[in-house]
Amino acid sequence: MKIYHNPKCSKSRQTLALIQEKGKEVKIIEYLKTPLTFEDLELILVKLGVSPIQLVRTKEEIWITNYKGKEMTDDDIITALVDNPKIMERPIVVKASKAVIGRPPENVLKLFS
């Protein structure tokens, strides 16, 4: 199990704590320090079963200033996420072929069954 984690985010901390309370092994990846590649994001999107725009924090200033209202392909959005990891929804927890966004943190429980 992996968590793409931002320690400054309360939801990310709560999700990590929930995983640890359940006694699950988890690899912590601080994605702001170790950004994801385009290919990483493509794979995560498949595991989440969502489109790239669903992974964007559309209220972030970076998104509003640079991307909002522009016509963008899925590849353009993934590139924006790679270039600006701060605009990515968090945390993302991946286990084998499945993934969830930890908003709310209890979403992670779906990976335990």
* Residues taking part in catalysis: 9
In the chain, which residue ranges form alpha helices assigned H by DSSP? Answer: 10-21, 38-48, 61-66, 74-83
What does the block give as tokens for 15? 């999700």
- Answer for the pair 86, 79: CB distance below 8 angstroms, yes or no: no
Q: What is the H or E stretch that residue 2 is in?
A: strand 2-5
What does the block give as tokens for 46? 């498949």
Q: Cα 74 to the chain's mean position, in Å?
A: 16
Facing residues of 60 across strands?
A: none
